[in-house]
Structure formats: structure tokens, C-alpha cells
Amino acid sequence: MNQQVKHIVILGGGSAGWLTAGVLAAEHMANDANGIQVTLVESPDIKTVGVGEGTWPSMRTTLQKMGVSETDFIRCCDAAFKQGSKFAAWHTNNVEDAYYHPFSLPAEFSQHNLAMAWQQYREQVRFDHAVSFQSHICDRGLAPKQIATPEYAFVANYGYHLDAGKFAQFLTQHCSEKLGVKHVQANVLEVKSHTNGDIASLITDVAGEIAGDLFIDCSGSRSRLLGEHLGINNINLQHYLFNNTALAVHVPYNNEQENFPSHTLSTGQSSGWTWDIALPSRRGCGYVFSDAHTSLDDAEQVIRSYVAQASSAEYAKQAELKQIKFNPGHKQKFWHNNCVAVGMAAGFIEPLEASALVLVELSAQMISEQLPQNRQVMDIVAARFNDKFSERWQQIVDFLKVHYVLSKRNDSAYWLDNRDDSTIPQSLQDNLNLWRYQSPWHFDATHTESLFSSASYQYVLYGMGFETLKRTHKTQSQAKLMQEAERLFAETSRKSNQVVSQLPTNRELNLKIHQYGFQKI
């Protein structure tokens, strides 16, 4: 029980494995003789899923901590900027009925809640347009920064769109060559345990026995260590979130020089939604749906019809579709004995708000920060980790579900079933009841480091036509807010005009990055 944690063994590569390895190796100096040893074991025969290509702004900090050059990352990973998500045909069955969930907060959000003041103008201006200049940038296909802006700095907050396969290759090289991660390409034949149930070692086909003190399961949905070996079962979430199948496809540009958006486009469909992620070289598109509400043939027709509009009818007919099945849910606990699961080994639900990679980042950060000195205190850290991530999964379920609950679509059983009270978590029902009388704001977050801020809920609620009733009595803060609101709405409009006139298009900036690169901070 007093054995020191000196060697961390990660099973599985891909974005989850290599991001975790990079965060741990950078913080705990794996390239130093006195640091923690990090070994990543990856099967040469298993390809990563590589579909999720959107990140949150947190990825900038993660890459920075790993010592990654943003210029190199963008050049090597076919990466582009993401400033948020646009949702079309979610509120009603009309693609023109759309709104943004941008990454920038509403104007002076820490001091003023503009949602209530905006409601008297709701017929004249959309909420995201009234409170954030970023939605105006996205409307015009502009980048969130200029070539003179230093690496990781910004004019408007951003994350990335990226090629998941190239990203994994880029991280493999960076972690192996610069951070001291030992990369072992081998298949695991057997998992050996100590008498107390802890994992002792992995028996591989070409690298022999690999012993470790802490094992991190990044083996994907198979969950080779936490699930198969240690027997930790899944909690099924399909009762709340119906989608369990995706059809993915790469779509070429008709013109290599055409501009591309700096946001993810999500379009509501009859039994799910399509994603559209723009990279510099191509678009990544797909249809996420519930197989209980549509057939595979009908789903294929939906995505091919979408591709035909995005590219051409000829390409849509012959485009190769990749089918991905998943069981929406997560492990009953994520850290058991000396094994912790990260990425799809911990769980997976539909990628509506690109939460998969941010959960990897947060998992890696907590493991790194709370890394137990020895086995004696590991169970304490594990209990905290399990509590934290059980809460985070519930936050994701609530936030994704609110997109469906607020829809007014009646064109299929899928949308009607999503609004059935029995499929809505009680925590979300309570919040929606509360928000009819007061707009989301800071004290709505009952836990520190909430995944989705009250600003995120505001963008979705008021983008989907939700109405918060005006207070029946006057308050001091309300009177002050009305005085400030006009100024802030005008300031947002002024700033929008200013940045729109100064920022390059997404394509222009991408070409300049490849030609010149950003200046280092």
C-alpha cells in the first residue's frame, strides 16, 4: 500500500491516450531521470475512430502546457478555428430558424445579466446578435484573430476543428520526441493482477511484460482494463438521449480557395441531426440519429441528401459512409483500484456540444494535479475523481437534453418523444421551471468548475425561443440593469462593426499561417 507511484502505463493511443500522456509527461517531467515514467501501449492493428473533430477553447491551454507550437499544430493537423456552434432547424423545422452558441460570453457577463433586458427587444434582434460580437464574426466567415496576433491569443475566443487522425500522429511524435513518453506498439494478450485486485502488468505479444503503478485505460469503447478486466459496468443513458448511431463522411470543397466557416453547423433532421465541420482541406459531415426512430436506409438517404447540397449530387451518390454504433452512457465509476478510464473507455454520448475531448482534457488534468504519491492515498483521489466526473456526465446530459426539450418541432415521433416528461432528468425540469421566472446566471452553478456556464444555457434557451417572465416587483439590480443594457447593446453593435472590418476570412488566415506562422508568445 505504500508503494510509490513512479510508472504510469496508458493502454490505447488516439486523441485520448496521447493527450493524457502529454499532460502527465509535461507536468511530471517524464523526460527527466527524477520524473514520472510514462509508457503508452498502442496496438498497431486497431485504428482510432477519429470522427470527433471539434474542441473547446480549453484545448489552447492544454496544448500550451504540453509545449506545442500553435503554428505547427495547425499546419500538421489540418486544423482550423472554431468559434462555437450554429444550430439550424432545431427550434422549428426551418433551416433559416437558427442561432449561435458562441465561445465568447455576453457583454460584461460577470457584472450584468442582459437576458432580461433583451427580452423586450426579442422581436427585433436575436439574443446572440444582441449580446455578443462573435456571432457577427461567424455570420461572415471570419477568423477569430489576425496573423499578427500571437500564438494562442485571440480577438474572439476560439477552439479548433481538426483532423483526428493527423492530431493523434502529431501528438505521438511530440510526446515521444519532446516529452519523454515511451511508445510501445504491441497487442495486449493478458492483464495480470495483484492479490488485492490491482492491475500488476500487461502481457504483450512483442514487448513482453509491462508493469506499472497506475494504469490509464484509453482503449476506447471496449474498455479493456476498467470494463473487461475489472468488471465495471456501464450506466445506460439512452432513456434521456436517444441517439445511438452515426453515419460519417468526408466532403470535398467544390473550390479549394473557397472560404469556410469558423463554427460547427448542427442541423436538426427528422430523427436526429447532421454535423458539418469545416477543415481547410475538406468538410467532415455526418448524421447522428436514433435507430429506434428511423431505419438505416432512411438515415443514409438523409445524409446523402445533405452531402448533395453541400457538394454535388454525383459525389453524394458514390461517397463512402462510415457507420458508428454507440451505446450512450458512462461507467458506474471511472477510477477503480489502480486503474482510471479516460475517453471512450469511460463513456460516450452523442457529440452535440463536442464534450468528448474536453472530458479527456479534464480527466488528464485532474489525474495530473491529484496524482497520488503512493498506493495508500490512491483510493482517496479515486473517490474524488469518481464524484467529480459523475457530476460532469450529469451536466452534459442536462445540457444536451435542453436542446431537444425546447424544440417546437412536431414533424416526427423523435422530437415529440424527446419532449416527453419521462425522458427529461428531474434536475433539468427543475431548472426549466425556475428559468421561467428568472434567467440563468452565476448562482445556477451548484458545483465549482461547471462544464456549462449559465451563459451557455442563455444562448440555447433564448436561441430556442424560451421566455422568462418579467418580475412582478421592481428590484434595485433590475433598475440598474435597464440603465446599462442600452449602452451594452450599442457597444456590442459598435464592436461588431469594428472587428468585422479588421479580421481576415478563415481561409485567408489559414493560408497565412501556412506561409508565415504566428509569432510566439
Contact between 102 and 370 under an 8 Å Cβ cutoff? The reply is no
The dihedral formed by the CA atoms of 291, 296, 299 and 304, expressed in degrees to the nearest 10: 160
Architecture of domain 240-325: 2-Layer Sandwich (3.30)
CA atoms within 13 A on the CB side of 166: 14
Every domain of the chain with CATH number 3.30.9.100 lies at: 240-325
Strand order of the β-sheet with 37-42 is 182-185, 37-42, 7-11, 214-217, 339-341, 335-336
CATH architecture type of domain 7-79+161-238+328-393: 3-Layer(bba) Sandwich (3.50)
**Residues 57/103, Cβ–Cβ less than 8 Å:** yes
pLDDT of 394-436, one tens digit each?
Answer: 999 999 999 999 999 999 999 999 999 999 999 999 999 999 9
Residue intervals of the chain classified under CATH 3.50.50.60 are: 7-79+161-238+328-393
Distance CA 75, CA 353 (A): 25
pLDDT score of 450: 84
Listed as ranges, residues in the chain with pLDDT below 50 are none
Rounded to 5 degrees, what are φ and ψ at 262? Answer: -110, 40
What is the predicted pLDDT for the residue at 5?
97
Q: Could you tell me which residues are beta bridge partners of residue 204?
A: 188
pLDDT at 106: 96
How far apart are the C-alpha atoms of 154 and 165, rounded to whole Å?
26
pLDDT at 1: 60
Task: Tell how strand 80-82 and strand 188-193 pair up.
Answer: unpaired
- Per-residue confidence (pLDDT) for residue 43, from 0 to 100: 95
Amino acid at 335: W
Q: Report d(CA 139, CA 100) in Å as an integer.
A: 9
Per-residue pLDDT, 101: 98
Which residue bears the cell 468528448? 356
Render 56-72 in DSSP notation, one character per residue: -THHHHHHHHTT--HHH
**Among 211, 204, 207, residue whose Cα is nearest residue 190:** 204
The pLDDT value recorded for residue 3 is 87
Place of cell 439550424: 88
Q: Is 266 in a helix, a strand, or coil? A: strand
